Amino acid sequence: MPDSIPADSVGVVSPTTLHFDEPLRLDCGVTLNEYDLIYETYGTLNAESNNAVLICHALSGDHHAAGYNTEKDLKPGWWDNCIGPGKPIDTNEYYVVSSNNLGGCGGSTGPLSSNPTTGTAFGPDFPIVTVRDWVESQARLANALGIDRWAAVMGGSLGGMQVLQWAVDYPERVASAIIIAAASKLSTQNIAFNEVARQAIRCDPSFHGGHYRLRNVVPERGLMLARMLGHITYLSDDVLHAKFGRELRDGKFNFGYDVEFQIESYLRHQGQAFVQRFDANSYLLMTKALDYFDPAAHFDNDLTKTVANCQANFLVISFTSDWRFSPEKSRELVRALLDSDKDVSYIDIETEHGHDSFLMDIPLYHNVLRSYFARTLREQQY
């Protein structure tokens, strides 16, 4: 927690958990008879219910997008630089909703939750969920909140893919779709990275087929490795070089396998911090959801056909140095939207920060969002 909460913060926020009794049939064929979704909201829903913005989180994100959960928090939510009074998504104007995806470990029903049929935690038995399942569950959340149509649905990376799924599945419920550092499907290389991450977790001797909690252990090393690998791919070579170079922690070679280069220290730190806050089974599920995502598969593998029924105004943003979700992937989506005469704007932001750019306070990037949201607001009011 900073000494005092900044004026442009949404302040101290508490999540809400909503229980759903209506069974949800998942893509994998399994039905969840009941489930919880945890979410936070910032700002106020107006009388016309037309100022609501849905935030979709990425692989390791959760519902806590902005503000502080307690006075003692050291850091605000993961997209705090973008959401708040006077920020690009201005909570003086917009009502922002951010939920944790099913299968996650932030408080929505997932592997850590109790399985009603067995009375113990789902663990590895939690069914594999897809981006479509998430959209379906969020549509029910929208119903519960009295939101017929989102002024905007917005997300980066996996969250951006979820935005696309929203625009395809519920054309009439999405006024603006903001898709950042995403793709209409993963590249082969991306699936390969995910598989290495999964194998790292599953090969950890503490994994126990996913039943690690029953033995009071955590596949720490596997999860840490998975995160270390991921982290490398979220940054660019240039940024790693600029941050760490070949700097040695002790200033000399020690001719051993302990941490020597600063980059090693950094990655281990990132990995260890991640183990504290994320569940290995959830990580496996999230990577699968990424791999399976391919909305065009239901439309003869034709992306133009896939978006043909969308009604949203699209804003697509990519980052020049993002090699995990390259600008070319965003352009493919833009081309399909142009081909089907959709309202779309596209910008490729020049930055050296790689995939992680979407989380950063890059002035040009935030000005684009600011300009877009100001216009969305104007158009909503007509």
Partner 1 sequence: MRLRADQALIAEWIRPRSRILDLGCGDGRLLAALQREHGASGYGVEIDPENIIKCIANGINVVQSNLDEGLADFDDNSFDYVVMTQTIQAVRYPQRLLHEMLRIGREGIVTFPNMGHWKCRFQLAFGKMPITRHLPNDWHNTPNIHICTIEDFEDMCDTENIEVLQQTAVDSEHRAGLAMRILPNLLGEIAMYRFRRSLEPPR
Structure tokens at 152: 């905007």
If the CB atoms of residues 53 and 59 are measured against partner 1, the closer one turns out to be 53
Report long-range pairs for 85-92 (Cβ below 8 Å, ≥24 apart): 85/7, 85/8, 85/9, 85/10, 86/8, 87/8, 87/366, 88/366, 88/367, 88/369, 88/370, 88/373, 89/53, 89/154, 89/369, 89/373, 90/373, 91/10, 91/42, 91/43, 91/66, 92/43
Q: Which residue has the tokens 């840490």?
A: 224
Residue 184 beta carbon to partner 1: minimum distance, rounded to whole angstroms: 15
Q: Out of 81, 239, 345, 377, which residue is the one contacting partner 1 (CB under 8 A)?
A: 345
User: Would you call 355 a catalytic residue per the annotation?
Assistant: yes
- 39 strand-pairing partners: 16, 99
Q: Out of 44, 92, 120, 371, which residue is the one contacting partner 1 (CB under 8 A)?
A: 371
Residues 230-259 that bind partner 1 (CB under 8 A): none
User: Would you call 371 a catalytic residue per the annotation?
Assistant: no
Structure tokens at 164: 């696309």
Residue 196 interacts with partner 1 (CB under 8 A)?
no
Q: Out of 174, 181, 344, 359, which residue is the one contacting partner 1 (CB under 8 A)?
A: 344
Radius of gyration of the chain (CA): 21
- DSSP structural state of residue 171: G
If the CB atoms of residues 182 and 315 are measured against partner 1, the closer one turns out to be 315
Window contacting partner 1 (CB under 8 A); options: 57-65, 69-77, 264-272, 363-371: 363-371
Residue 148 beta carbon to partner 1: minimum distance, rounded to whole angstroms: 24
Query: Amino acid identity, residue 2?
Result: P
Q: Out of 349, 356, 357, 380, which residue is the one contacting partner 1 (CB under 8 A)?
A: 349
What 3-state class would DSSP assign to 114? Answer: strand
User: Would you call 157 a catalytic residue per the annotation?
Assistant: yes
Query: Amino acid identity, residue 373?
Result: F
Residue 62 beta carbon to partner 1: minimum distance, rounded to whole angstroms: 30
Residue 335 interacts with partner 1 (CB under 8 A)?
yes
69 contacts: CB under 8 Å, gap ≥ 6: 12, 13, 14, 15
Q: Out of 2, 343, 361, 381, which residue is the one contacting partner 1 (CB under 8 A)?
A: 343
- DSSP structural state of residue 138: H
Residue 350 beta carbon to partner 1: minimum distance, rounded to whole angstroms: 8
The catalytic position among 99, 176, 355, 357 is 355
Residue 346 interacts with partner 1 (CB under 8 A)?
yes
Window contacting partner 1 (CB under 8 A); options: 66-74, 137-145, 266-274, 346-354: 346-354
Residue 363 beta carbon to partner 1: minimum distance, rounded to whole angstroms: 10
Rounded to 5 degrees, φ, ψ at 124 are: -75, -5
Show the CA angle centred on residue 148, arms to residues 142 and 149, nearest 5°: 100
Window contacting partner 1 (CB under 8 A); options: 21-29, 177-185, 220-228, 367-375: 367-375
Whole-number Å distance between alpha carbons of 227 and 212: 18
If the CB atoms of residues 247 and 350 are measured against partner 1, the closer one turns out to be 350
Closest CA to 8 of 82, 78, 114: 82
The catalytic position among 9, 60, 157, 321 is 157
Whole-number Å distance between alpha carbons of 55 and 91: 13
Contacts with partner 1, 297-326, as mask; x by CB under 8 A: ------------------x-----------
Window contacting partner 1 (CB under 8 A); options: 126-134, 143-151, 281-289, 372-380: 372-380
Q: Which residues bind partner 1 (CB under 8 A)?
A: 315, 331, 334-335, 338-339, 343-350, 364, 367-368, 371-372, 374-375, 378-379
* Residues classed as catalytic: 157, 322, 355
